[in-house]
Amino acid sequence: MVSILPRRFPCFTTLVLGLLVTMPGAAGAASMHRYTITVDAAIREVDVRACFDGAPPRHLAAESLDASAALLEVRIEDTGKRLEPNGPELDLRSVPADGCVRYRASLLMQGGRHQRSSGVARRVGPDVVTDAGIWLWRPPSLAQDEEVELRFALPEGMSVSAPWRPQRDAHGRVEAYRLGHAVYDWPAAVAFGTFQQREIAVGEARLRVAVLHGAPRVEWELVRQWLTRSAEAVSTLYGRFPLDDVQVIVVPGARGDEPVPSAFVLRGGQPAVYFFINQRKPLADYLVDWTAVHEMAHLLLPHVRPEDAWLSEGVASYYQNVLRARAGMISEQEAWQRMHGSFRRAMRGMPGTTLADATERMYRDGAYMRVYWHGAALMLMADQRLRARTRGAQSLDRVLHGLQACCLDGAQVWQASVLFDKLDELSATNVFSELYAQHVTAARFPDLTETYDELGLGLNASGEIVSVLPRAAHSDDRDAIMRAPASLR
């Protein structure tokens, strides 16, 4: 599911060029700017002290168009001189080397103010989710050896949940965050409050989970089992969760028949997952639901530009069934049937429209089926061709593992065609560029007859029911798709 878009959807190029030259990490940054962020007990304002290491940047930038309206007062600490923002920029040329600025910014969301900020900002009982783009004035870009460290000074009992890279003390507790060289143009959700905050270990990886207040209160055990199971399902791809440390925000109180009526991945700062749940639903409903597996499967890819959302949604949609079958949440037969049913619905959507055009229209019209499942069909075809042509040596799992090692970190925004070239390189095949040429610019949903034949998937007379044929040529490949590698079982 997706309902959050990057803030400046069509204008990526300048941003990408600005950030591509930088690299993640900077553990031994030569230049470390230090921010201390104080929040009042009522969570109305932040008071930020930003101290620069050496020469300050020429200006600070905030992501949201509403940031200058939310900015209450900025002063140079030494002289008390007041600074005024110019739109989303704050000129620092009068700040001395090693100097500090202090500013206050409003977190209140009243009367339509901050409406343009994003869909993430909200009050949830006594807790507040902010979009950091409203209140975080940061250097517009960081040099390779430059970092910003963020520390929070909070009232007794208050917690913060933030997406940036956590810095941990000797006991593993988060004591600060590093801003890093990340994607900035998406919302970054930062929650303040007295919510439940705990960590879930998934192998070596950690989910930092904030469960906001709700009535009835959300049972931690429900969240723990649901997210652990979903994350472990995603870990069946290549034996580890794709990212080391991920922010997760769970907002209770959603209505609807499903346990997780809405969810999305945010990429501001670092990738994070945001869930709206109906906490009245029983644990059993959560343990078979596809949403968390789908959202976490988004973390298998780096940031793909929104014009190519068919690729990120295709991967997430393909794997939402495959991974649930591997984890025993649904049967293999059910996984194939669900996939087939979605392909059939998608086939009827937007006839005569290319995938690129359908993706553009998806944002306008909300017609998701064609885009998600056309993308998922390409992933099924890729997985089948990789396995068949390399006699099982390659698979979509393996290629994505290669991508994890080379390309998941950092601020690059990928075009689908460039990412497909990378996947060809990683698999030493031309499967992806071939699929791109055949099916991305074609004005129809891919014909899956050959793929089904190769995998030994049969259809009934009406074409609605898919069945697994026992003695097909490549039934091993088909079975391998739905089963975790033996070493992981």
Binding site for Zn ion (CB under 5 A): 2, 313, 316
CB of 379 to Zn ion, least distance (A): 13
- Smallest separation, CB 99 to Zn ion (Å): 44
Phi, psi (5° rounding) for residue 18?
A: -70, -30
Residue 292 Cβ vs Zn ion, minimum distance, rounded to whole Å: 11
Q: Which of 74, 296 has the CB closer to Zn ion?
A: 296
Query: Which residue is at the shortest CB distance from Zn ion?
Result: 316
Tell the smallest beta-carbon distance from residue 298 to Zn ion (Å): 6
The nearer residue to Zn ion, 265 or 435, going by C-beta atoms, is 265
- If the CB atoms of residues 2 and 71 are measured against Zn ion, the closer one turns out to be 2
Distance separating alpha carbons of residues 72 and 456, to the nearest angstrom: 65
For Zn ion, give the closer residue by CB, 31 or 262.
Answer: 262
Task: Write down the least CB distance from residue 265 to Zn ion, Å.
Answer: 7
CB of 464 to Zn ion, least distance (A): 25
- What does the radius of gyration of the chain's CA atoms come to, in whole angstroms? 23
Residue whose CB is less far from Zn ion, 29 or 293:
293
Cβ nearer to Zn ion, comparing 48 with 266:
266
Smallest gap from residue 2 Cβ to Zn ion (A): 5
3-state secondary structure the chain: CCCCCCCCCCCCHHHHHHHHCCCCCCCCCCEEEEEEEEECCCCCEEEEEEECCCCCCCEEECCCCCHHHHEEEEEECCCCCECCCECCEEECCCCCCCCEEEEEEECCCCCCCCCCCCCCCEEECCEEEEEHHHHCCECCCCCCCEEEEEEEECCCCCEEECCCEEEECCCCCEEEEECCCCCCCCCCEEEEECCEEEEEEECCEEEEEEECCCCCCCCHHHHHHHHHHHHHHHHCCCCCCCCCEEEEEEECCCCCCCCCCEEEEECCCCCEEEEECCCCCCHHHHHHCCHHHHHHHHHHCCCECHHHHHHHHHHHHHHHHHHHHHCCCCCHHHHHHHHHHHHHHHHCCCCCCCHHHHHHHHHHHCCHHHHHHHHHHHHHHHHHHHHHHCCCCCCHHHHHHHHHHHHCCCCCCECHHHHHHHHHHHHCCCHHHHHHHHHHCCCCCCCCHHHHHHHCEEECCCCCCEEECCCCCCHHHHHHHHCCCHHHC
Nearer to Zn ion, 149 or 313 (CB): 313
Nearest approach, Cβ of 440 to Zn ion (angstroms)?
Answer: 18
Query: Which C-beta is closer to Zn ion: that of 194 or that of 363?
Result: 363
Q: Which is nearer to Zn ion, 74 or 316 (CB)?
A: 316
Give the Cα separation of 196 and 112 in Å (integer): 29
Q: Which is nearer to Zn ion, 316 or 457 (by Cβ)?
A: 316
Structure tokens at 288: 């078979």
Q: Which is nearer to Zn ion, 167 or 363 (CB)?
A: 363
Q: Tell the smallest beta-carbon distance from residue 294 to Zn ion (Å).
A: 6
Smallest separation (angstroms) from Zn ion to the CB of 450: 27
Q: Least distance from C-beta 310 to Zn ion, angstroms?
A: 11
Interatomic CA distance for residues 197 and 407, integer angstroms: 30
Give 167's strand partners.
176
